[in-house]
């Protein structure tokens, strides 16, 4: 069982910055699920640039391109992509390079929800960043575990060779305002996770109990009949706990299986929750078996209703 619970973490220093990279193997996923996280005060600028990257490098070229990115979406905290394992390192470097050399138009700047666009501030912040990878990661884990690995040395050189372009500070007039929604009831982190999964690629983050929405156009109708099946699918995405087999002496195999499921699912939970401004993990396998509570469903319905009311108010 140790082979499928393998994970690795490493700090990679490169000229001008540092990358913390963590990888977790998940046998249920056929590709890499990669989250590249950036910490910056220029969240609006970061979000617009990442969306621009997706439109130019993913949607335009498609999944048959050399970057082998099959799907991607951005949040104000970073970008999540699905790609092949062999292209994971290259895609991390490509994302950083794009952020360092790309300038947005005045029209695009109005969608940042920022009053000042400061590229120097962004570039300084993003040179120290993090990457989290799960799924098909056997070779990635191997390179991270071996000190002095040539692939990592080449990757470090690739990051260090990225050129940062200087752009003037831009003052934005009539910048859009991100919609701040305050739910009537306080959401716990599990309810935030359920809501995030249901909203799929809608760009938003939580700040405490406040929900900050960055793009109303990305909000889709919430299908309540779809709610149960969607959330259940995520809960079993790393395997179903089941029960110990009759010949499983002392339940050792079952315990090892449950441990593996918890590790994989919590890695996925971190990616989903951290990219949206909160942090959630399951503490017990029974939480996974229990599925989605009726209280969570009620809270989600109420939050979605509050969102729609806020939208209608903006349109008045």
Residue 136 is predicted with a pLDDT of: 93
43 exposed, middle or buried (CB, 10 Å; 0-12, 13-18, 19+)?
Answer: buried
Quote the CA–CA distance of 202 and 118 in Å, as a whole number.
25
Tens-digit pLDDT profile for residues 13-71: 999 999 999 999 998 888 999 999 999 999 999 999 999 999 888 866 555 467 889 88
Residue 64 is predicted with a pLDDT of: 46
Quote the CA–CA distance of 88 and 114 in Å, as a whole number.
31
Q: Give 316's pLDDT tier (boundaries 50, 70, 90).
A: low
Kindly state the average pLDDT of the residues 257-264.
90
Quote the CA–CA distance of 54 and 71 in Å, as a whole number.
9
- pLDDT higher than 90, residue 216: no
Kindly state the average pLDDT of the residues 231-248.
82
Quote the CA–CA distance of 285 and 12 in Å, as a whole number.
34
Q: Give 178's pLDDT tier (boundaries 50, 70, 90).
A: low
> What length does the chain have?
316
Ranges of each domain in the chain? 2-171, 179-314
Looking at the chain, the number of H-run helices and the number of E-run strands are: 11, 11
Quote the CA–CA distance of 234 and 231 in Å, as a whole number.
5
Tens-digit pLDDT profile for residues 126-159: 999 999 999 999 999 999 998 878 999 999 999 9
- Considering 30-34, 169-173, 302-306, the range whose residues carry the highest mean pLDDT is 30-34
Looking at per-residue confidence, does 242 or 105 come out higher? 105
Residue 279 is predicted with a pLDDT of: 95
- Cα separation of the two ends of the chain: 59
Kindly state the percentage of the chain with pLDDT values over 90: 50
Q: What six digits make up the tokens of 155?
A: 């990757």
Enclosing H/E stretch for 141:
helix 138-145
Of 169, 301, 150, 282, nearest to 225 by C-alpha is: 301
Q: What Å distances lie between residue 168 and 85, 120, 123, 298, CA to CA? A: 37, 8, 13, 48
- pLDDT higher than 80, residue 269: yes
Q: What is the mean pLDDT of the chain?
A: 87
Q: Give 5's pLDDT tier (boundaries 50, 70, 90).
A: very low
- pLDDT higher than 70, residue 315: no
What predicted TM-score, i.e. pTM, was given to this entire model?
0.91
CB under 8 Å to 224, separation ≥6 — which residues?
297, 301
CB under 8 Å to 100, separation ≥6 — which residues?
123, 126, 162, 163, 164, 165
Cα 8 vs. chain centroid, distance in angstroms? 19
Q: How many CB atoms lie within 10 A of CB 259?
A: 13
Domain spanning 2-171: which CATH class is it, in words?
Answer: alpha beta
Q: How many CB atoms lie within 10 A of CB 310?
A: 17
Quote the CA–CA distance of 90 and 6 in Å, as a whole number.
22
């Amino acid at each position: 069982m140790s082979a499928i619970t393998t994970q690795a973490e490493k700090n990679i220093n490169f000229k001008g910055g540092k990358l913390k990279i963590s990888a977790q193997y998940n046998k249920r996923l056929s590709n890499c699920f990669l989250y590249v996280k950036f910490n910056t005060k220029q969240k609006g600028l970061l979000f617009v640039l990442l969306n621009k990257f997706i439109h130019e490098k993913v949607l335009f070229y498609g999944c048959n391109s050399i970057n082998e990115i099959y799907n991607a979406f951005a949040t104000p905290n970073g970008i999540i992509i699905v790609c092949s394992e062999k292209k994971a390192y290259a895609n991390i470097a490509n994302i950083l390079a794009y952020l360092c050399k790309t300038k947005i138009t005045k029209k695009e700047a109005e969608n940042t929800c920022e009053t000042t666009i400061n590229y120097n501030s962004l570039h300084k912040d993003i040179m120290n960043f993090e990457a989290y990878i799960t799924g098909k990661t056997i070779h990635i884990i191997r390179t991270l575990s071996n000190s002095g690995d040539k692939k990592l040395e080449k990757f470090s050189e690739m990051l260090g060779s990225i050129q940062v372009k200087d752009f003037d500070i831009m003052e934005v007039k009539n910048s859009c305002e991100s919609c701040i929604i305050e739910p009537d009831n306080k959401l716990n982190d599990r309810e935030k996770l359920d809501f995030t999964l249901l909203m799929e690629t809608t760009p938003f983050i939580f700040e405490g109990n406040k929900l900050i929405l960055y793009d109303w156009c990305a909000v889709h109708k919430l299908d309540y009949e779809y709610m149960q099946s969607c959330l259940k699918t995520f809960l079993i995405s790393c395997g179903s706990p089941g029960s110990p087999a009759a010949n499983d002496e002392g339940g050792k195999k079952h315990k090892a299986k449950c441990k593996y499921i918890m590790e994989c699912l919590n890695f996925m939970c971190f990616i989903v929750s951290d990219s949206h401004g909160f942090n959630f993990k399951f503490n017990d396998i029974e939480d996974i078996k229990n599925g989605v509570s009726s209280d969570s469903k009620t809270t989600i319905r109420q939050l979605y209703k509050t969102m729609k009311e806020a939208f209608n108010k903006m349109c008045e």
